[in-house]
């Protein structure tokens, strides 16, 4: 399995959004309750760049498998050294170790952007994602109980973090 990461272009946005939307119904990965539109993600897309907050397309053997991004934490300059890592994979690419490869890429790449802390925002009931991050040495930095109303069920948000230096 040959995994490659390339910087996303605007032409990739429809498939990025489709992958994201494929997770909405599960109520495990995202707090969006309805699919989002490509147009609604334009500002989000434009906030990414190769020099500070990359957005990568992930391929396996040349075939699109998902995406990964670094997102600014809280949007103030003092927090520039801290980013949230987002990993969204196509359903057929899940459970095959690709999450491990993506998270290792994030850990290895972050220092080149002067990133000192990586965060993951993960629902408390998303065991696979929590286990992935814990396996890579992330620790629970915050527990926000019952803050997400998912169809009348209150869900916890766990913020995991890892110091890189």
Residue 68 lies in a domain: yes
Q: Please answer whether residues 81 and 112 qualify as being in contact, where contact means their C-beta atoms are separated by less than 8 angstroms.
A: no
Residue 144 lies in a domain: no
- Read off the pLDDT of residues 96-144 as tens digits, 9 standing for 90 and up: 899 999 999 999 999 999 999 999 999 999 999 999 999 999 999 999 9
Residue 66 lies in a domain: yes
- And the tokens for 74? 């809280």
CATH at 72: 3.40.630.30
Which sign does the torsion angle of CA 148, 8, 105, 61 carry? positive
Confidence at residue 75, expressed as pLDDT on a 0 to 100 scale:
85
Confidence at residue 29, expressed as pLDDT on a 0 to 100 scale:
93
Tell me the mean pLDDT in the region 50-77: 96
Residue 17 lies in a domain: yes
Residue 106 lies in a domain: yes
Q: Is 118 helix (H, G, I), strand (E, B) or coil?
A: strand
Residue 146 lies in a domain: no
Report in angstroms the alpha-carbon separations of 137 from 35, 107, 134: 32, 10, 5
Q: Count of domains in the chain? A: 1
Q: Please answer whether residues 48 and 8 qualify as being in contact, where contact means their C-beta atoms are separated by less than 8 angstroms.
A: yes
pTM: 0.95
Q: How many CB atoms lie within 10 A of CB 1?
A: 9
Residue 138 lies in a domain: no
Q: How many CB atoms lie within 10 A of CB 110?
A: 22
Could you list the residue range(s) of the whole structural domain that residue 58 is in? 3-119
Residue 153 lies in a domain: no
């Amino acid at each position: 399995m040959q995994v490659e990461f390339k910087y996303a272009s605007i032409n990739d946005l429809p498939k990025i959004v489709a992958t994201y939307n494929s997770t909405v119904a599960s109520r495990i990965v995202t707090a969006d309750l309805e699919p989002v539109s490509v147009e609604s993600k334009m500002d989000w897309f434009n906030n990414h760049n190769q020099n500070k907050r990359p957005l990568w397309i992930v391929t396996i053997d040349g075939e699109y498998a998902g995406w990964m991004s670094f997102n600014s934490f809280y949007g103030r300059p003092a927090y520039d050294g801290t980013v949230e890592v987002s990993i969204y994979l196509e359903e057929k690419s899940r459970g095959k170790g690709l999450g491990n490869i993506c998270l290792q890429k994030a850990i290895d790449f972050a220092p080149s952007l002067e990133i000192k802390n990586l965060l993951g925002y993960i629902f408390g009931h998303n065991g696979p994602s929590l286990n992935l991050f814990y396996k890579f040495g992330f620790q629970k930095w915050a527990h926000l109980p019952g803050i997400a109303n998912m169809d009348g069920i209150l869900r916890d948000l766990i913020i995991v973090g890892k110091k890189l230096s």
